[in-house]
Amino acid sequence: MGLFDDDFYSTKVPGRRLRMSEGGKRRWLEIRRGQGLSTLQISLISSVLSAVVAVLLFSFIVGLHSSTSRGDASTGAAPKPTDPFDRISWAAGKAAPAVVSILNHSELSHEEPERAALGSGVIFKKEKGKAYIITNTHVISGSEDLEVVTSDGISHKAKVTGQDSINDIAVLEIDDKGIHTVIDIGDSNKLRAGETVIAVGNPLGLGGTLTSGIVSYTNRMIPVSLNQDGVYDWEQEVIQTDAAINEGNSGGALVDLDGRLIGINTMKIADTGVEGLGFAIPVNDVMKTVDDLLLHGKVVRPYIGVYTLDLDNPYSPITDEQRQDLKLPSHVTEGVIVLEAHGPALEAGLKLNDVIIQLDKQPIQSTMELRRYLYENKKISDDLQVSYYRDGKLQSVTMKLSDKPSDAEIDAGLEDK
């Protein structure tokens, strides 16, 4: 039944009432008019009711919108726009104040500041008068003096809280004076290919630079050389993006259209003819590393204690003379040669030119596989069975894995020897 159906309201008198006797007609109408409402009165009442309903409905809608706007205001952010281009500006404006420039000064750069190595970082935490910054380990490598410059141009001296060369993540600490913005942490597991992202950083010293693109691939595995010798000895899972990333962007933020951190920009492929191949470490992996660095100053991993060279390394192949010195059987073509032994490996008796071929009877063909087996399958204090060749004879030893020392602890240990 409609709101204005005849059963609810009608200005017409039903026909059956008009057929009443002439004598009683006028009296009946007079009685009804005296006891009821006129057509004009009913019209006025209906108009007032309609106006009241309209006002209440409008107030409800405006009130709902206002409460949403107040919710956005309470976080210090403007309401999220719906236009996709405005959304990019909104997200960049939200994230950019939390992105800093990092200057890694050397002895030369104190006299010539333009010689300082450049990078970026992201403020992710404020606590007890300190602000904490995520960046890449390679950004602060070999640092003598670290300077952080915020988006409003204020300079701070920075201290290294912890760093991890394998995941290429470091945490810096500065005083929080003048720091008002901390970036929101997103969820890189929810990323989809084709999603719009924004890279914020300090490319070529141009701090506060924004570039945008899409997620080209969500979980690309790329080989990396941890000691920069051109030999791939680890694989890094990264987000691939076509947002422009240049020298100085390393350590900066890759954010989504909600202004949330979803990756730390780390590298690009810069070969001739290659465009739009940039990479960022997923924030979910980053924060696992960051938690360890804040708690321990390093990432807690099981440690075997060997420096190695791949037996079939195509970039640094061994000579026939070196192979003869190893006295390997002809069928042994893959494994890792021990160059130095420390910690558990040294205690177990491993030494120079031992060739490891198995861990817990699992074939090991390269240093990359050795690391992956340790980090994915073993824990600190676990026993590890190592099978290796020495002077042409297959041997086996069991060692107890220890906590991996930090790079600084390893360097200090080598200097003591």
Per CATH, 94-175 and 188-296 having the same topology is answered yes
* Catalytic member of 101, 120, 168, 387: 168
**In CATH, what is the architecture of 94-175?**
Beta Barrel (2.40)
End-to-end CA distance of the chain: 95
- Phi first, then psi, for residue 172 (nearest 5°) are -110, 160
* Catalytic member of 138, 143, 176, 212: 138
Instruction: Identify whether the C-beta of residue 357 lies closer than 8 Å to the C-beta of residue 389.
Output: yes
Out of 2.40.50.140, 2.30.42.10, 3.30.420.40, 3.40.50.2300, select the CATH number for domain 302-416: 2.30.42.10
Extents of the domains making up the chain: 94-175, 188-296, 302-416
From its phi and psi, is residue 259 left (phi > 0), alpha (psi between -120 and 50) or beta? left
- Superfamily in which the 188-296 domain is placed by CATH: Trypsin-like serine proteases (2.40.10.10)
Token readout for 168 is: 């290429």
Tell me if the pTM is above 0.85.
Answer: no
User: Per residue of the chain (417 residues), what is the pLDDT tens digit?
Assistant: 443 333 333 334 444 443 444 444 443 333 334 445 555 555 555 665 565 555 555 454 444 443 333 334 334 556 778 776 789 999 999 999 999 999 998 766 666 666 788 999 999 999 999 999 999 999 998 887 999 999 999 999 999 999 999 999 999 999 999 999 999 999 999 999 999 999 999 998 888 999 999 999 999 999 888 777 667 778 899 999 999 998 899 999 999 999 999 999 998 877 777 788 999 999 999 999 999 999 999 999 999 999 999 998 877 788 889 989 999 999 999 999 999 999 999 999 999 999 999 999 999 999 999 999 999 999 999 999 999 999 999 999 999 999 987 666 666 665 444
* Catalytic member of 101, 120, 143, 250: 250
Our answer to whether residue 233 is catalytic in this structure is no
Our answer to whether residue 331 is catalytic in this structure is no
Our answer to whether residue 138 is catalytic in this structure is yes
- Alpha-carbon span 278 to 25, nearest angstrom: 93
Instruction: Identify whether the C-beta of residue 358 lies closer than 8 Å to the C-beta of residue 387.
Output: yes
For the purposes of burial, counting CB atoms within 10 Å of the CB of 47, is it exposed (0-12), middle (13-18) or buried (19 or more)? exposed
DSSP state of 320: H
Dihedral through CA 240, CA 244, CA 245, CA 246, nearest 10? 150
- DSSP bridge pairs for 395: 388
